[in-house]
Amino acid sequence: AHVGGVGAGEKDLRGWASAGVSMYHQIVPRVCPQYRIPGDELIIVSHSHGGNVVACALASGLKAALWIDIASPVRRDARMIQIYGLARQNVTHWAHLYGGSKDRWQIRGSLDLTWNPLSWFNVRRDNTFAHENRQVAAADHDDMLHVPEHMAVVTSVLEAAPIWPTP
């Protein structure tokens, strides 16, 4: 599904928030609560603007043990900063992975030209709200999803996450 893009401002946020609420209700259904996925068992992997959808779901009250956020654009407007802060409260461990200079899509997706034309000069690759930030310098926007050596970074985050019971 298309969930936003470059610089559409409030339109992007409405799309992400709507998709986030829908995600929340898929995982925590009102009608059949017995099918709910417990937060301490929920692991979410998102890519690109899907990370903003997950942030909205978590900000809406979804609970998760681990969120691996791959190449998600980091918006710096006040609404998204508030959403990131609420999201962090509802996830035990949030790992934000991002590529190097080859990943121009993450940079473009971070721009918000409708709220702040100066966002061109304030692009962040890391997300200060995440518990962990890892740059994979040789990766472009999609590499961590299909290039084995970059996928190994995702696997290492999953294995090292402080969510597993100690033996």
The whole-number pLDDT of residue 1 equals 44
pTM of the model: 0.83
pLDDT at position 2, please? 45
Task: List, in order, residues 6 or more apart from 4 with CB less than 8 Å away.
Answer: 11, 12, 13, 15, 16, 49, 52
Q: What's the confidence (pLDDT) of residue 42?
A: 93
Alpha-carbon dihedral 163, 70, 125, 13, rounded to 10 degrees: -100
Question: How far is residue 67's CA from residue 42's CA, in Å, rounded to a whole number?
Answer: 9
pLDDT of residue 18: 87
Q: What is the pLDDT along the chain (167 residues), one digit of tens a residue?
A: 444 454 455 667 788 888 888 898 889 888 887 888 888 899 999 998 899 899 999 999 999 999 999 988 887 777 888 999 999 999 999 999 988 766 655 555 555 555 555 555 555 677 889 999 998 888 877 888 888 888 888 888 888 888 877 66
